Structure formats: structure tokens, C-alpha cells
A and B are shown apart, each in its own frame.
Chain A
Amino acid sequence: MDSANTRGGAPPVPVSITLTVNGREHRLDIDTRASLLDVLRERLGLTGAKKGCDHGQCGACTVLLDGRRANSCLALAVANDGAEVTTVEGLAEAAGAAGEGGLSPIQEAFVERDALQCGYCTPGQLCSATGMLAEAAEGWPSFVTEDLAAEPPALDDAEIRERMSGNLCRCGAYVNIVAAVREVGA
């Protein structure tokens, strides 16, 4: 693993896990130190999820873990044995839009609204927005929701910005990201 500190001579600890990624089951022999992100990128070749900060601060590694958005850089693969993972590569299929050029509604909206510049944060933005829209549909409030005991308000810009704050975009495409999410969340 990166920044390996193996001083002290303790040997790596191998373990076997099973992950279902984008509907396909994989049996993997890994090191206990492996993050879910590293397993996705380096073992399964799914390089959509990005390693931005590797500290849970940027959101570029966001995937859906058992249906909920999560930072795959902070998730130890071994602790997620048996989990179902959806990465950006599987978003279209999960939304029933598989096939050539098939896109999920949020992917479609990002393209339409030009919600990116360099694109590095985009896979994380897309997975996070997908998870966030599901949370909102379940009635989850946010910190900017005025009355927690009332029905949560529609996803206005303030709600979207608060709920998407775990995903940074250093190109500053936020205005169009908010517009894309608003369109799908409406």
C-alpha cells in the first residue's frame, strides 16, 4: 500500500474477502491495510473513483456502499467483506439505463448543464448526488433544514449546497453542479 510504514518488521496480513461491485461478485485476497478505494482502482481496474486527498476531505472517492454514499478511501476493504458497491462505472446500470451511451439521470444532467471542468471530482460528485437524492427522497433533513419536526423542504440551492458539501470541486463548477442536482431532485 502507499506510504507503507512497515518498520518494526511486522509482516503484511493477508485476508480473503468478497465484494459485489456493480452487480458482479469478486473474491479477493487482500492486505488488511487496503482501502476499498485501492481495491476498486488497483485490483478491479475501476479507476472512476478517484484518490484526491485520501483523508475523507474531498469526496472524489465517493461510492455507494450498501446503497449509501461513502468515502471509499476511509473504508477498509476487510471491514466491508460481503458489501455491495456501486461506482460511477455502474451508476447507469443501477438506474436501469445500461447499454451504449446509457447514462443515469444525474449523469445526463451533469452533461446537459456542463457541471464540470477538469472532471476529476465528477465521479465522486455523481455518486454523492445519487446517494444524496435518495436520502432526500427518504425525508432526511439537513443542517440547514429550518424545522426538523416538519416535512423536509424541497431541495433548494441552500439544501443542495449543504448536502453536497462533502464533495469539493477545485475548478469551482459548483454553480452548474447545483443546477444539475436541482434539476434531477425537482
Chain B
Amino acid sequence: MRPFTYERADSVDDAVALHGEQTRYLGGGTNLVDLMRLGVEQPDRLVDVTRLPYDQITVAPDGGLLIGATVRNSDLAVSWSVRQTHPLLSQAVLAGASGQIRNQATVGGNLLQRTRCSYFQDITKPCNKRDPGSGCPARKGENHNMAIFGHSTACVATHPSDMAVALAALDASVHVHSREGKRVLPLSDFYRFPKDDPSRDTVLKPGELITEVEVPPLGMPSSYRKVRERASFAFALVSIAGALKVEDGVVQDCRIALGGVAHKPWRAHRAEEMLRGVAATKENYLRAADAELESAHPLRENGYKIPLARNLIVRTMLSLGEGA
């Protein structure tokens, strides 16, 4: 690991002022420290932001949430308010990592964790995300875990966060600070597709710091499901954050976001549009899922993700509809 200086920020102004060219903000470190050990990340300065005053979850009068960026993943998942009003968020966080890692990882760090693409993590291999212009061996190599939506010739990696998939379904937004001030980014615009520059996972500018995540009220049953290669402590092959409101057998509203299928959480807008206002039947769920998956472009080894995603959408909607 390359030597680095360590600074602890006492305020947001302090943190953004300390940020230089080869600086990384340090949250729980559960991904960053590992990437530094692997040689993927080589910062010369770490600015520890875990003691900034953003460790609270605030419930708004309308039932929305304001989640501080230094809240630990465990504290978010077990929060009584979150469990009652946004259970899919709690479930998504509990679906991620292990008990130990959830105790260490922060909300801001969870959003900014890097892909677990094995080529990205192996510095002896080319990777356009780690080393722009070097190539993408995953495209024709081992790609059973890779994206089926929105990938490019430069990158086929997926975003690893479960929490971000739930936040995408919830229309969350991200509050970020920099020396220029504050801005609020809808989560749907926060993450990027790889296009010709996969080195950037998000639209954040250098030095911008996540301080809070804002989640509007939901007001309908929701859940998070995740399919992986073992029962626990593994990244998603495909996951789904779903919510559904049914009245008199008709879908009033629904949310569907998929994980493990793209460079960012994949909000299934097309399926959602098809479902609003139609009968809450298995046939309609299937039709909507198929329509959504028409735009999928599987690679050599990951065609299985299409029926998997279809079945997850149908199963999740059916089970949410049963509670109506």
C-alpha cells in the first residue's frame, strides 16, 4: 500500500478544504481500504469524514427520511422508523455484506463503493474503469456477473450496492457539498452509465462530499429480494426493490428497481408505466416484465439474468399484491 497522510475533518467546510488531487474521503473503509490494499486505489491523503455531524436519521412530518451520510449501515437497517415506513430500504441494507461490515460501513460510503468486477480489482489485468483506455477483458471474458442493461464497449460492470437499488425505487436524492456550496442530485441522475468513460461511477465532481440522503414518503407495501450464488454474504446476481399499491384489484402505483443488471440501479420505468391502472394479475406482471427486458443485451455468460429478473419482478409484485 502506498503511504498516505490521514486527516480527520471536524466540519464539512474542513473536509472539502482538505480535499486535494489524490485525496479520498474515508467512511467505514470497508471497500476503500481493501482497494488500497489491492493497489486499485492509491490516494496520498485520506480525509476521515466519519465524525462529521451527519450521523442521524430524521423523520419528516410527511413520513419522508433524511439520512445522514455517516450513519452506519446497521443503524440505518435497524432503525424503527425505517423498518415501519420504508421496509424495502431496511431489507436492502440487511441483504448487503455481513454483520461486521454493516457495523463499519457508512451510508455515504455504501453509495460510493466500487464495482466488484474481478478485472477491475486485479491490477494485473486491463480495465477501462481503473486504467482508462486499457481495454475491457470482461466483455468477452468471464462475464456471468456482468450487466445486461446499459453497458458499453468500454465497460460491462455492475453497481454492487443493494441499498442504492432500494433508494432508486424510492426516488431518493443525494445532498452533496463542495467548496462551491451545496447541490441536491436525484439518485436517478447521480449514477452514470459507463458510455466511453467508465472511470466515473457518478456525476460527482472531484472533492464533492455526500452529506445526506433524502427519501420521500412511500405509503405502499414494499420489499427487497435478492438472488445470489450462496444464501448470504454475496453480491446480487439480480435483486429487486419493489413497491405496489393495489385498490379494487387495480394497480394504483408501483415501483420496480433492479440490482446486479447495470452500471447503476436499473429503474424499470417501462414496466411501471405498463402496470399503473391495469388489473393486478400475474399475466400483467409478466407482460410488464417482458416489456422491460426487451431492452436487455445479455453477454455470452449472463443470459440467465433475463428469466431471473422476469421471475423476480412477477414474484415480488404477486407477493406485494397479496397483502393488498
Q: How far is the CB of A36 from chain B (nearest CB, A)?
A: 10
List the B side residues contacting A12 at CB < 8 Å: 3
List the B side residues contacting A145 at CB < 8 Å: 94
Contact check, A70 vs B104: say whether CB atoms are below 8 A apart: yes
Taking a contact as CB atoms closer than 8 A, the residue among A10, A62, A139, A141 that contacts B3 in the complex is A10
Contact check, B6 vs A78: say whether CB atoms are below 8 A apart: yes
Taking a contact as CB atoms closer than 8 A, the residue among A32, A68, A166 that contacts B98 in the complex is A166
Q: Assess whether A186 is interfacial by the CB under 8 Å rule.
A: no
Contact check, A165 vs B29: say whether CB atoms are below 8 A apart: no
List the A side residues contacting B46 at CB < 8 Å: 32, 76, 79
Contact check, A140 vs B100: say whether CB atoms are below 8 A apart: no
Q: Assess whether A8 is interfacial by the CB under 8 Å rule.
A: yes
Q: How far is the CB of B61 from chain A (nearest CB, A)?
A: 20
Knowing A70-B104, A76-B29 touch, does A141 contact B83 (C-beta < 8 A)?
yes
Contact check, A32 vs B6: say whether CB atoms are below 8 A apart: yes
The count of chain A contact residues (Cβ–Cβ below 8 Å) is 51
List the A side residues contacting B110 at CB < 8 Å: none
Q: How far is the CB of A90 from chain B (nearest CB, A)?
A: 17
Q: Could you say which of A8, A11, A162 has the most chain B C-beta atoms within 10 Å of its C-beta?
A: A162
Please classify the interface of chain A as helix (H, G, I), strand (E, B), loop, or mixed, using the class held by over half of its residues. Answer: loop
Please classify the interface of chain B as helix (H, G, I), strand (E, B), loop, or mixed, using the class held by over half of its residues. Answer: mixed
Q: How far is the CB of B291 from chain A (nearest CB, A)?
A: 30
Knowing A76-B26, A149-B84 touch, does A10 contact B2 (C-beta < 8 A)?
yes
A44-65 CB mask vs B (1 if < 8 Å, else 0) is: 0000000000111001001001
Contact check, B104 vs A74: say whether CB atoms are below 8 A apart: yes
Contact check, B6 vs A1: say whether CB atoms are below 8 A apart: no
Among B12-20, B33-41, B189-197, B297-305, the stretch that binds chain A is B33-41
List the A side residues contacting B97 at CB < 8 Å: 166
Q: How far is the CB of A70 from chain B (nearest CB, A)?
A: 5
Contact check, B29 vs A32: say whether CB atoms are below 8 A apart: no
Knowing A6-B3, A32-B4, A55-B37 touch, does A140 contact B78 (C-beta < 8 A)?
yes
Knowing A135-B99, A141-B83, A149-B87 touch, does A74 contact B6 (C-beta < 8 A)?
no
B16-50 CB mask vs A (1 if < 8 Å, else 0) is: 00000000001011100110010100101010101
Contact check, B100 vs A70: say whether CB atoms are below 8 A apart: yes
Q: Give complex CA distance A74, B101 in Å.
A: 9
Q: How far is the CB of A79 from chain B (nearest CB, A)?
A: 5
Contact check, B83 vs A79: say whether CB atoms are below 8 A apart: no
List the A side residues contacting B211 at CB < 8 Å: none
Q: Assess whether B70 is interfacial by the CB under 8 Å rule.
A: no
Q: How far is the CB of B173 from chain A (nearest CB, A)?
A: 24
Contact check, A74 vs B1: say whether CB atoms are below 8 A apart: no
Contact check, A59 vs B37: say whether CB atoms are below 8 A apart: no
Contact check, B78 vs A71: say whether CB atoms are below 8 A apart: no
Q: Give complex CA distance A163, B103 in Å.
A: 12
List the B side residues contacting A79 at CB < 8 Å: 6, 8, 26, 29, 46, 48, 50
List the B side residues contacting A11 at CB < 8 Å: 3
Q: Give complex CA distance A54, B38 in Å.
A: 10
Contact check, A141 vs B94: say whether CB atoms are below 8 A apart: yes
Q: Give complex CA distance A136, B30 in Å.
A: 23
A-B contact pairs, 18 of them (CB 8 A): A4-B1, A5-B2, A7-B2, A11-B3, A15-B6, A32-B3, A33-B1, A35-B33, A56-B34, A68-B74, A69-B99, A74-B101, A76-B33, A79-B29, A148-B91, A149-B83, A163-B99, A165-B232
The 3 closest A-B pairs by CB, nearest first: A166-B98, A165-B232, A165-B233
B residues engaging A (CB < 8 A)?
1-6, 8, 26, 28-30, 33-34, 37, 39, 42, 44, 46, 48, 50, 74, 77-78, 83-84, 87, 90-91, 94-95, 97-101, 103-104, 231-233
